Amino acid sequence: MHDVADLIDTSFLTDVLMGLSGRQKSIPCRWFYDDRGSELFEDITRLAEYYPTRTETGIIQDNIQAIAGFAGSEIALLEYGAGAGIKTELLLEKMDGNCLYVPIDIAGDFLNQTVDRIRAKFPALRVRPITSDFTIDFDIPDDVPTERRVGFFPGSTIGNLSASEARTFLGRMRRHVGRSGAAIIGVDLKKDIGTIIAAYDDSLGVTAAFNLNLLTRINRELGGNFRPDLFEHRASWNETDGAVEMHLVSRVEQSVTLADHRFQFEAGETIHTESSRKYDPQSFAALADGADWVVDRTWMDADRKFAIFGLRPKS
Ligand SMILES: C[S@@+](CC[C@H](N)C(=O)[O-])C[C@H]1O[C@@H](n2cnc3c(N)ncnc32)[C@H](O)[C@@H]1O
């Protein structure tokens, strides 16, 4: 019997080998988050150019009573892709002592650090972490009460999923919370492209370091021989997908070896590492509708940069 960590290691190798074998080389963005990647992401959230975290935090602060009221009392809060759970603390402060916090993340070690911090800060709160990949089917353990489960998916992490992956994910969340449940989802909205690109290509190079760390992780965990100094970070707008894309661009013609496979790169050839789709309230409502959800509440900042949607089951 394999444990979760073994399964995650196996799928990392499979994903990288398959992704590098495609015509457009790619690696799924879930592999950004080793310990260093998770720390770098937290650094990104504090950058001047990275408006999503600041804006989403402001929306939560400005509407905390309404958001906590929508969530309800005595709930099990299921947070998908919890990361450091910084914004979650705002919500947890408003919850009564009978709540259960269920943070879910693929990055198990980083998740454990988050859980330690949350437990120290909220000694009365029950915390039930789950290390899992939310893009695959998984069950919420039976010891999580079913009366009122609320899915929480902040950070516009939903933008990292393709339209069909996002629909599947929302359907999974709908199944996890059941008919009596709800969901609270943070979504980055369409806006001028310069503002979006700057958020993914900051002047201090933190996002570049985050992107390049993926190659360092592959070398360390999978025995690859990438030379990160021979790749550079690029962020660009894909109009068709309505998404900002991150790529790693090979500076030179080169070959890389990994697990007995050799991958050839032309100078200028890229590895697509992340797409971050931007929605508007209408397109998000249509997406939710396709997964048996209704948008019940919408909270936005004054500039309509970011939205938090409160969803209830359609049936
Ligand atoms: C963009 S960060 C958002 C972190 C935090 N929720 C926030 O709002 O700042 C994405 C988080 O989701 C986790 N994650 C990414 N892909 C995942 C997957 N497929 N399954 C589970 N967790 C994932 C990462 O480890 C990371 O903590």
Structural domain boundaries of the chain? 4-48+194-277, 63-191+278-313
219 CA → ligand 1 middle, Å: 22
Q: Which of 106, 133, 153 to mutate to test the pocket of ligand 1 (most atoms within 8 A of CB)?
A: 106
The residues, any chain, with a CB within 8 Å of residue 6's CB and separated by 6 or more, are: none
Query: How crowded is the C-beta side of 109, counted as CA atoms within 13 Å?
Result: 9
CA angle 278, 280, 271 (to 5 degrees): 15
In tens, the pLDDT along 111-150 reads 999 999 999 999 999 999 999 999 999 999 999 999 999 9
pLDDT in tens, 158-177: 999 999 999 999 999 999 99
Residues of the chain predicted below pLDDT 50: 1-2
Q: Which of 30, 54, 188, 217 to mutate to test the pocket of ligand 1 (most atoms within 8 A of CB)?
A: 30
Query: Which of 4, 32, 33 is the pocket-test mutation for ligand 1 (most atoms within 8 Å of CB)?
Result: 33
Ligand 1 center to residue 197 CA distance, Å? 20
Pairing of strands 231-238, 243-250: antiparallel
Q: Give the tokens for residue 207.
A: 């996002």
What atom of ligand 1 comes closest to residue 45's alpha carbon? 9
What token pair was written down for 126? 């029950």
Compute, in angstroms, the gap from residue 283 CA to the centroid of ligand 1.
22
Q: How far is the CA of 106 from the centre of ligand 1 (A)?
A: 7
Query: How confident is the model at residue 95, as a pLDDT?
Result: 87
Q: Which of 177, 186, 185, 138 is nearest to 314 (CA)?
A: 177
Q: Which atom of ligand 1 is nearest to the CA of 53?
A: 9
Look at the block and give the residue holding tokens 């959800």. 293
What is the pLDDT at residue 8? Answer: 61
- How many of the other CB atoms lie within 10 Å of CB of 71? 20
Closest Cα to atom 1, ligand 1: which residue? Answer: 157
Which residue bears the tokens 């009122």?
A: 148
Q: Which residues line ligand 1 (CB under 6 A)?
A: 30, 33, 38, 41, 45, 53, 81-83, 87, 105-107, 133-135, 154-155, 157
Residues comprising the chain, all counted:
315
Strand partners, 100: 76, 126
Ligand 1 site-directed mutation target among 157, 162, 172, 207, most atoms within 8 Å of CB: 157
Asked if 269 and 243 count as a contact pair (C-beta separation under 8 A), the reply is no
DSSP string covering 221-250:
HH-----GGGEEEEEEEETTTTEEEEEEEE
Residue whose token pair is 């910084």: 86
**CATH class of this structure's domain 63-191+278-313:** alpha beta
Nearest protein Cα to ligand 1, atom 16: 30
Cα 87 to ligand 1 centroid, rounded to whole Å? 13
Q: Residue 232's closest CA among 218, 250, 205?
A: 250
Strand pairing category for 149-153 and 182-188 = parallel
pLDDT at residue 98, rounded to an integer: 86
Residue nearest to atom 27 of ligand 1 (CA): 83
What is the structure's pLDDT at 73?
A: 94
Q: Write down the pTM of the prediction.
A: 0.96
CA distances for 52 relative to 56, 57, 199, 212, angstroms: 6, 8, 8, 22
Residue ID of nearest Cα to ligand 1 atom 17: 30
Residue 7 is predicted with a pLDDT of 61
